[in-house]
Chains A and B, each alone.
Chain A
Amino acid sequence: MSDKIRKVEGITKESTEALIAETLAVYPEKAKKKRAPHLGANDPASGSACVKSNKKTVPGVMSARGCAYAGAKGVVWGPIRDMVHVSHGPVGCGWYSWGTRRNMMSGITGVTSFPMQFTSDFQEKDIVYGGDKKLKTLLEEAHELFPLAKGISVLSECPVGLIGDDINSVAKQSAKDLDIPIIPCNCEGFRGVSQSLGHHISNDTIRDFIIGTREYAEPESPYDIALIGEYNIGGDAWSTKPLLEECGFNVKAVWTGDGELEKIAATHKVKLNVIHCYRSMNYMCKVMEEKYGIPWVELNFFGPTKIRNSLRQLAELFDDTIKAKVEAVIAKYDPIMQAVVDEYKPRLDGKKVMLLVGGLRPRHTIGAYEDLGMDCVGSGYEFAHTDDYDRTAPEMPDATVVYDDPSEYEFEKFAAALKPDLVGSGIKEKYVFQKMGVPFRQMHSWDYSGPYHGYKGFEVFARDVDMAINSPTWKLVKAPF
């Protein structure tokens, strides 16, 4: 949380509210009424959400949202490397989400890790007669061809729920027959309003089928922690995990980036859960807190300021050994980070960024931009809830625009008025802004770069932001004739 309320020149509550009103002017009455509560001017002093959220997407407005399946396959289950993740239903969902999130994996593909597309490729006859038999056969085939897979997740696509298949009983029987965990996940895309419900459903399946079924072979230590909501996008976990280890912790499991099923299953044995993406995994943190008494802490690993604060916050929960190590780590990296800031800040100071991303980045990355001297003049989420917006309020400057599940039209209008020097959002938005000559970074996937987490990540992040904003290519956009 930032100490004082920041202001951006030219942005007032009145100007932001006028911008919102002007943007919505084109909407039909009903749509305008639905959208208006989702757009607001930030009030950092209140420390609470200025917008409504987690409501149905308004039809026809061009939302950037995905679905429950996307939240389950792409976000929570998909990154676990030593499992076969079956996209159960027609071919498309699994194909579109195959390798497109950039959750990186170690291991040997097809042997010990499975960054592949497994699907039941439903045909007309499966819709008519049901897909349960096919699922049973498919699970046997997967187990035979991938004997080292530690488990199988079955991720339902829309038709499965609509035709009344019972994947739960198939999974239960096959798990017994094959003697491996098989997790049925009823994450059909029509459920809920966004990816978010997919996260929740997946957390529930981890609770119901996974947690507590394994124990670590090594003896326990007071420094055993788990890193939750770290998906190893562009290798993020390969930056944060070693950092935590350098601070003296044993990171027993990562949920779920480059994750291992059995280590996740034994997480009830750790002493503390460190959560990064609160939105997608707060549910299991709360479950482990209630069921096993494991406390959890939400940290931010973007940019040296937030990392420093986070590490100290973490150290406070442990003994002097950890505190000393954390201080040593901070002392080691501070000059390295200062060198990064010294290199890039002169070219980025005072630049403005607008964000529209997913679960944590619309608030978590603000500090990293600020480390580089930049201001965040607008931020929003695809699928956040009120508790996310509450957490966002203090991070953003006063009266800046906050948008929940904005349409492409709204996002474009806001950007046209606020004239950001950089937009950080997704692939669907990227080329819209680049056509306008506005520098852009994909902030879901790190735009084929990364990591962005941790100290190692900040060097890459700063380089990428500088590269986007200060590329000479933008000077070519306007023809001289």
Chain B
Amino acid sequence: MSNALGLEVKTIVETPPEEVERVKEWINTDEYKEKNFARQALVINPAHACQPLGAQLAAHGFEGTLPFVHGSQGCASYYRSTLNRHFREPAPAVSDAMTEDGAVFGGQNNLHEGLENAYAIYKPKMIAVFTSCMPEVIGDDLTAFIKNAKQKGFVPKEMPVPYANTPSFSGTHINGYDSMLLSILQNLTEGKQIEGRCTGKLNLIPGCDFNTGDYREYKRILEAFGIPYTVLADISDSFDSPCDGNYHLYAGGTKLDDAADSINCKATIAIGSYSTAKTFGWVKDNFSGKHASLPMPMGIEKTDAFVMKVAELFGKDVPASLKNERGRAVDAITDSHQYIHGKKFAVYGDPDYLMGYVSFLLEVGARPYHILCSRGNKKVEKDLQALLDSSPFGQGCKIYMNKDLWHLRSLLMTDPVDGIIGDSHGKFAARDAKVPLFRFGFPIFDRVNKHRYPLIGYQGAINMMTEICNKFIDIKDETCEDRQFELMR
């Protein structure tokens, strides 16, 4: 007797317990690690999502903007629910729900109908269109489709409808963020450059950062300087809006007029050279004023660099309040350094976050021992290596490019560390390795309110230091012998 596959009918045999035990031990071995690292095709527990997710994040950073997914309906639901879970906030976005007939006829009809309905129902000031797989595979021509939509009156001619190609089979969410942001800026600033005009403002591009506290921290720092600014794109209110009995579909975002005028700025700082590479390249060539691309200001040194760059661009001294704040952060770090000194960490995540974690760990005397980048190029590896080479605490630390969290598990089981920095998905490996996971990345699905606590700036350094050191102290309190349990730590 056989079934459709030609396989015979078998009696169920339970796996013997000793075989289960054997495999359970085996997956923690060096032999397994070798096989695991020899993988060519299978990716297991990747630490990266796809482009459109980042595109949606960027779109939410603008006033009255409705993110619009050109593609299958399910894609939009996935991006939305991911953002809902991380921020515990609404993430309104529409899709034009392409189906089989889209594969045959292309997606123009869906796009047009979708734009017409979305505009009528949700009354956006801007619709930011980005693509999921289907239109990318069949080769939809967004430029023509959107031009036609305006000609046919599905949306008003004057309404901005920036669009970005964000194929999920290339890059990660950080690239989608970059492409969408670039498209929005190109669209809004078109024809807005005025010879001789200078807004006197700083454009701050925070990069693909999912921590609303970071955005507020940037603004606070700039306010301390007394420097007028435009954050491009500002998701802080979009994903951290008040609960006051009213739901606002468009809860925040950079004013479209400010974004349009951003081309006449005094200076632009783009944070995160990997998630803002394309945008910064274009801004540099097209915006007035001075330009700088900086790593995420995580830890004291990188925050110093940010603060000094702002001071330099605007010819201002660093205000006393920030000097004091720096001093307090350094005080917090020196007071607690003994709880982190020499500790080994595994870190994983997006390249910009990784640069930040590594820089921070090195400056406080910890070791970013396993550095795992789920998707990144040679430049990321070179930049990370340069950071490691800059500190004695970086010696012996290793970078693993284009590896996933199942690789990470092998590393943790064969060459242990004291702690892990990453997103919620690392909790399984952390549990197996019996080490704490510090949730500083994206997404954080299993702890509350973390996105409200900045990781950047001097305040961010205090937050990271406090969380890490107190956790190590907790572990000591929970695991030490009774006679070692004492009041002071």
Given contacts A117-B45, A159-B137, A478-B244, contact A92 B7 (CB under 8 A): no
Select which of B36, B74, B425 is within 8 A of A67 by beta carbon. B74
Determine the distance from Cα of A66 to Cα of B95 in the docked complex, in whole angstroms. Answer: 11
Given contacts A117-B46, A148-B23, A190-B100, contact A479 B244 (CB under 8 A): yes
Residues A108 and B96 in contact, CB atoms below 8 Å apart:
no
Determine the distance from Cα of A66 to Cα of B79 in the docked complex, in whole angstroms. Answer: 11
Interface size class of B (residues with CB under 8 A): 35 or more
Q: Which residues of A contact B72 (CB under 8 A)?
A: 67, 158, 189-190
A273 interface residue (CB < 8 Å to B): no
Q: Mark A208-219, 1 if CB is under 8 A from B, else 0.
A: 111111111100
Select which of A30, A67, A98, A215 is within 8 A of B12 by beta carbon. A215
Q: Which residues of B contact A434 (CB under 8 A)?
A: 243
Closest residue of B by beta carbon distance from A125: B169
Residues B117 and A213 in contact, CB atoms below 8 Å apart:
no
Given contacts A95-B48, A435-B90, contact A217 B11 (CB under 8 A): yes
Q: Min CB distance, A73 to chain B, in Å?
A: 10
Residues A91 and B27 in contact, CB atoms below 8 Å apart:
no
Residues B121 and A96 in contact, CB atoms below 8 Å apart:
no
Determine the distance from Cα of A162 to Cα of B138 in the docked complex, in whole angstroms. Answer: 8
Determine the distance from Cα of A262 to Cα of B92 in the docked complex, in whole angstroms. Answer: 42
Given contacts A209-B4, A213-B3, contact A163 B85 (CB under 8 A): no
A-B contact count (CB 8 A): 304
Q: Which of B95-145 contact A (CB under 8 A)?
A: 95-100, 102-103, 110-111, 113-122, 132-134, 137-138
Q: Min CB distance, A62 to chain B, in Å?
A: 5
Q: Mark A94-116, 1 if CB is under 8 A from B, else 0.
A: 01111110000000111110001
Q: Which residues of B contact A412 (CB under 8 A)?
A: 247
Residues A91 and B49 in contact, CB atoms below 8 Å apart:
yes
Q: Which residues of A contact B13 (CB under 8 A)?
A: 217
Q: Mark B403-421, 1 if CB is under 8 A from A, else 0.
A: 0001001000000000000
Given contacts A91-B168, A92-B49, A214-B12, contact A158 B44 (CB under 8 A): no
Determine the distance from Cα of A437 to Cα of B244 in the docked complex, in whole angstroms. Answer: 7
Select which of B98, B100, B246, B406 is within 8 A of A116 by beta carbon. B406
Residues B12 and A263 in contact, CB atoms below 8 Å apart:
yes
How many residues does chain A have at the interface if contact means C-beta atoms less than 8 Å apart? 106
Determine the distance from Cα of A157 to Cα of B169 in the docked complex, in whole angstroms. Answer: 11
B241 interface residue (CB < 8 Å to A): yes
Given contacts A148-B15, A193-B99, contact A117 B44 (CB under 8 A): yes
Residues A175 and B5 in contact, CB atoms below 8 Å apart:
yes
B82 interface residue (CB < 8 Å to A): yes
Q: Min CB distance, A81 to chain B, in Å?
A: 13
Q: Which of A159-185 contact B (CB under 8 A)?
A: 159, 161-163, 172, 175-176, 181
Residues A148 and B98 in contact, CB atoms below 8 Å apart:
no
Given contacts A120-B42, A437-B243, contact A60 B121 (CB under 8 A): yes
Determine the distance from Cα of A457 to Cα of B246 in the docked complex, in whole angstroms. Answer: 33
Q: Min CB distance, B185 to chain A, in Å?
A: 24
Residues A427 and B84 in contact, CB atoms below 8 Å apart:
yes
Residues A96 and B245 in contact, CB atoms below 8 Å apart:
no
A309 interface residue (CB < 8 Å to B): no
Residues A100 and B81 in contact, CB atoms below 8 Å apart:
yes
Determine the distance from Cα of A31 to Cα of B103 in the docked complex, in whole angstroms. Answer: 22
Q: Which residues of B contact A58 (CB under 8 A)?
A: 97, 113, 117
Closest residue of A by beta carbon distance from B13: A217
Residues B39 and A28 in contact, CB atoms below 8 Å apart:
no
Determine the distance from Cα of A92 to Cα of B40 in the docked complex, in whole angstroms. Answer: 19
Q: Min CB distance, A286 to chain B, in Å?
A: 18
Q: Which residues of A contact B32 (CB under 8 A)?
A: 145
Residues A28 and B98 in contact, CB atoms below 8 Å apart:
no
Q: Which residues of B contact A211 (CB under 8 A)?
A: 3
Q: Which residues of A contact B169 (CB under 8 A)?
A: 89-90, 122-124, 126-127, 159
Residues B49 and A95 in contact, CB atoms below 8 Å apart:
yes
Select which of A60, A67, A109, A138 is within 8 A of B96 by beta carbon. A60
B24 interface residue (CB < 8 Å to A): yes
Determine the distance from Cα of A208 to Cα of B2 in the docked complex, in whole angstroms. Answer: 11
Determine the distance from Cα of A253 to Cα of B74 in the docked complex, in whole angstroms. Answer: 30
Closest residue of B by beta carbon distance from A114: B44
Residues A435 and B50 in contact, CB atoms below 8 Å apart:
no
Residues A65 and B77 in contact, CB atoms below 8 Å apart:
yes
Q: Mark A115-149, 1 if CB is under 8 A from B, else 0.
A: 01111111110110000001101100110110110
Q: Mark A49-89, 1 if CB is under 8 A from B, else 0.
A: 00000001111111111111110000000000000001001
Determine the distance from Cα of A191 to Cα of B103 in the docked complex, in whole angstroms. Answer: 10
Q: Which residues of B contact A295 (CB under 8 A)?
A: none
Residues A63 and B95 in contact, CB atoms below 8 Å apart:
yes
Q: Mark A457-481, 1 if CB is under 8 A from B, else 0.
A: 0000000000000000000011100
Residues B81 and A96 in contact, CB atoms below 8 Å apart:
yes
Given contacts A92-B78, A127-B169, A189-B72, contact A216 B12 (CB under 8 A): yes
Closest residue of B by beta carbon distance from A198: B74
Q: Which residues of B contact A157 (CB under 8 A)?
A: 133
Q: Which residues of B contact A356 (CB under 8 A)?
A: none
Q: Mark A402-429, 1 if CB is under 8 A from B, else 0.
A: 0000011100100000000000001110
Residues A66 and B74 in contact, CB atoms below 8 Å apart:
yes
Residues A181 and B5 in contact, CB atoms below 8 Å apart:
yes
- Among B23, B42, B94, chain A packs the most CB atoms within 10 A around the CB of B42
Determine the distance from Cα of A44 to Cα of B262 in the docked complex, in whole angstroms. Answer: 59
Residues A60 and B113 in contact, CB atoms below 8 Å apart:
yes
Listed from nearest, the 4 A-B pairs whose CB atoms lie closest are A67-B74, A92-B50, A60-B114, A59-B114
What residues of chain B have their CB less than 8 Å away from a CB belonging to chain A?
A: 3-7, 9-13, 15, 19-20, 23-24, 27, 32, 35-36, 39-46, 48-50, 52-53, 68, 71-75, 77-82, 84-85, 88-100, 102-103, 110-111, 113-122, 132-134, 137-138, 167-170, 172, 241-248, 406, 409, 425, 428, 432, 445
**Can you give 6 contacting A-B residue pairs, CB < 8 Å?**
A60-B68, A111-B24, A190-B72, A409-B122, A435-B241, A477-B243
What residues of chain A have their CB less than 8 Å away from a CB belonging to chain B?
A: 26-28, 30-31, 56-70, 86, 89-93, 95-100, 108-112, 116-124, 126-127, 134-135, 137-138, 141-142, 144-145, 147-148, 157-159, 161-163, 172, 175-176, 181, 189-195, 208-217, 262-263, 266, 407-409, 412, 426-428, 430-437, 477-479
